Amino acid sequence: MAAAGLALLVAACVLSAHRTRARNDAPCQRSQWNNGYNTFVKRHIRSGLPASLDVNEWRNYIKNNGGCDRPTQSFLDPKDLDRVRAVCSSAGGKTFKENLCISQEPFSFVTVRSEQGTCGIRNVVRESKHLILACEVLENQCVPVHFEGNPKSAKPSNNARGCRDPDTKGHAPNLKATWPWLLSAMFVVVCLI
C-alpha cells in the first residue's frame, strides 16, 4: 500500500513538472512566461540598428548591445512595432500551427548570422518574408513572445482562421499528451493494480 502511495506521489510530481513546460496548442492563450513580450521586443525590435548591411557595423552593434551568444538573430524596424503586434490579431495574422501566427503581409527585416559566443559575423541579410510569431496572452492582450524562423518562406493559408478569433480569449493552455506524460500515467495505473 505504501508503494502505491509513493508511486502516485512520484507520478503527480512528474505530471506537474511536465505541465509547467507545456506549450500552448493554439495562439492567444494565457502565457506561462510573464516576461515573454518584453524579451521579444528586447531581442527583435531594438532602437539604433545599423542602417547598412556592413558586417563591421553589425559586429560592433551586437557586441555593444548583447547577443553574441545567439547564432541567428532577426531585427525588425521599431517603426513596425504596431504592425508586428497586429500579427497576433485577426486583422494582421492567421493561425499557423500550435501557438504560432503568420503575418498576412510580408515584413522587411535584417537577419544576422554569427559565430556563437565570439561576435564574429558570418553574414548580414535583408529579408522580406511573412513573420511567424508565437502569440500568447499577457495582461489580457495577445502579444508576440517568440520570433520563429521562416526558412521555407511560408505564406498564410486563405483557409486559416484569424490569429485571435473571438472564441480564444485567453483560455488556459491545452496540454498535448506526450510520451513522458503517457508513461507516467501508465506507471500510476500499473502501480495501483
CATH of the domain at 162: 3.10.130.10
Name the residue type at position 104: Q
- Long-range pairs for 103-107: beta carbons < 8 A, 24 or more residues apart: 103/130, 103/131, 103/132, 103/133, 103/156, 104/130, 104/156, 105/130, 106/130, 107/76, 107/80, 107/83, 107/131
Residue 14 inside a domain? The answer is: no
Domain with 131 in it: 26-166
* Within-domain flag for 137: yes
Does residue 61 form part of some domain? yes
* Closest of 42, 33, 7 to residue 173, by C-alpha: 33
Q: Alpha-carbon distance 136 to 29, whole Å?
A: 5
Determine the pLDDT at residue 2: 52
DSSP letters of 39-94?
HHHHHHS-SS--SS--HHHHHHHHHHHS-TT-SEEEEE-GGGHHHHHHTTSTTTEE
Task: Going residue by residue through the chain, which has 193 residues, state the pLDDT in tens, using 9 for 90 and above.
Answer: 554 443 433 444 444 444 334 578 899 999 988 899 999 999 999 999 999 999 999 999 999 998 889 999 999 999 999 999 999 999 999 999 999 999 999 999 999 999 987 889 999 999 999 999 999 999 999 999 999 999 999 999 999 999 986 544 444 334 444 444 434 444 433 444 5
Within-domain flag for 189: no
Q: What is the pLDDT of residues 30-46, one digit of tens each?
A: 998 889 999 999 999 99
> Considering the domain boundaries, does residue 21 fall inside one?
no
Whether 3 maps to a domain, the answer reads: no
**Three cell numbers at 122?**
558570418
Q: Which residues contact 43 (CB under 8 A, 6 or more apart)?
A: 67, 70, 73, 147
Q: Note the pLDDT of residue 72.
A: 94
pTM of the complete model: 0.75
Provide the domain count of the chain.
Answer: 1
Residue 10 lies in a domain: no
Say if 31 falls within a structural domain: yes
